[in-house]
Amino acid sequence: MDAVAGTIPTVHEIADQPAPQCSEPASHRGPNFYPQAGLAPVSFREYYYPGVADEQWNDWKWQFRQRVKSLADLDRFFPMSAEQRLRMASVLHEFRLGIPPYYLSLIDPYEPQDPMRLQAVPSNDEFLNLEVGDEDPLSEDAFSPVPGIVHRYPDRCLLIATNSCALYCRYCTRKRIMEEGEAPPSRPQLEAMVGYIARTPAIRDVVISGGDPFTWSTARLEELLGMLRAVPHLEIIRIGTRVPVTLPQRVTPELCAMLEKYEPLWVNVHFNHPREVTREAAQACDRLLRSGIPLNNQSVLLRGVNDNLPTMRALLHALMRIKVRPYYLYHCDPVRGTQHLRTTVAAGLALIEGLRGHTSGLAVPTYVIDAPDGGGKVPVQPQYLQSYTAGRAMLRNFQGRVFEYDDPPAV
């Protein structure tokens, strides 16, 4: 169903695709064979991919080629009824699917509400919410002076380098562009994006996002970084990627050696659940850190995934242990097809209330809502300042105690 391959198939054409003849089908050992999936990482690799050699498993290009991309692939691992197939066909007609074997191995096959499954696998809830939400909830297109650039803030901009992802998250804000296929932009398209930055001296900071820039070849990514580093007024380059979480095999010594040449370079990663902080993900982050690249984490608050305090706290503590700084906790955007994954603002505030003062401040992310109509990120915090009048502030601490705090006398 790639757009680059021709016309988009109909729902019934998708539903009628035959299941593939697989030489190595998923095994069917009982759930008691595996450790119970709680908050610690558990691998179900032997369930989904028995007999796959480590040499293949650790090859990121093999992982990328073997992604679950079709309804037939889904049916192999998550058998469906005829009605379910038709519903999932409707979803895949609208939104892309892609799950690398590595990330699939993190999903508990015996738990339909598994947090990793909710993020990666289309569901009946997504079908029921197909027409609920917005195509472009952040109005990015309205702030795009040239294709691929979103310039909302005065001194920084977003460069959407690609539509390709290793894993297509079911809550993605940019689901609308994924139907355009995975072909990279042309050299003239990249030159137009960089050209806008070059002729806009106010831009000192660019975020390369997508899609996921780490799905590019190392040479192609270096080409873009070289073009950007040639812009004299551009100080900071940031890359937004979920690859260290979903396809950590991609973070190779070759990639890190290339990235190291373009400092100051920052990478924002995207862990949502403590079970994603695996040994492989930690090693990928460590390679980037040892190359002098600081790592910040941006999570999305998702119902059934990380919207309770024990899970969120476990995630933040796991990130701290691998030297990744919790940066943002995003409220899930009202993008089409994601209503079932969205929480209330009150739920987000309760999480921050349960973290602030109860764990290190360095582990507490900034909870933000991306305002509609391009309003940008708005930080939302519990109300610790109770009142402030006549130079006197009434402050509430994490224990609920209230304190008076006076300004110094006027000079």
Q: Model confidence over 228-253: pLDDT tens digits?
A: 999 999 999 999 999 999 999 999 99
Residue 214 has pLDDT above 60, yes or no: yes
Close Cβ partners of 309 (under 8 Å, ≥ 6 residues apart): 350, 351, 354, 355
Residue 328 has pLDDT above 90, yes or no: yes
The answer to whether 174 and 160 are in contact (CB under 8 A) is: yes
Domain boundaries, the chain: 3-128, 141-375, 381-411
Residue 8 has pLDDT above 50, yes or no: no
The string of DSSP codes covering 200-224 is -TT--EEEEESS-GGGS-HHHHHHH
Which stretches of 270-367 are DSSP H helices? Answer: 279-290, 309-321, 345-355
The answer to whether 258 and 222 are in contact (CB under 8 A) is: yes
> In whole angstroms, what is the distance from residue 396 CA to residue 391 CA?
16
The string of DSSP codes covering 344-358 is -HHHHHHHHHHHBTT
Return the pLDDT at 26.
44
CATH superfamily to which 141-375 belongs: Aldolase class I (3.20.20.70)
| Alpha-carbon distances, residue 97 vs 73, 92, 184, 272, 283 (angstroms) | 10, 7, 18, 19, 26
**Max CA pair span of the chain:** 82
Per-residue pLDDT of 125-155, as tens digits, reads 999 999 999 999 999 999 999 999 999 999 9
The answer to whether 304 and 267 are in contact (CB under 8 A) is: no
- Active-site positions read 152-153, 156, 165, 169, 172, 174, 333, 370, 377
Q: Is the pTM of this model over 0.85?
A: yes
Q: What angle do CA 180, 186, 191 make, to 5 degrees?
A: 120
Return the pLDDT at 180.
75
108 by Cβ neighbours in 10 Å (0-12 / 13-18 / 19+) ranks as buried
Close Cβ partners of 362 (under 8 Å, ≥ 6 residues apart): 320, 325, 326
Per-residue pLDDT of 166-179, as tens digits, reads 999 999 999 888 77
> In whole angstroms, what is the distance from residue 82 CA to residue 80 CA?
7
Return the pLDDT at 410.
82
Question: Identity (one letter) of the amino acid at 9?
Answer: P
Per-residue pLDDT of 27-79, as tens digits, reads 444 545 444 456 889 999 999 999 999 999 999 999 999 999 999 999 999 99
Element (H, E) at 62: helix 60-65
Count of other CB atoms within 10 angstroms of residue 50 = 12
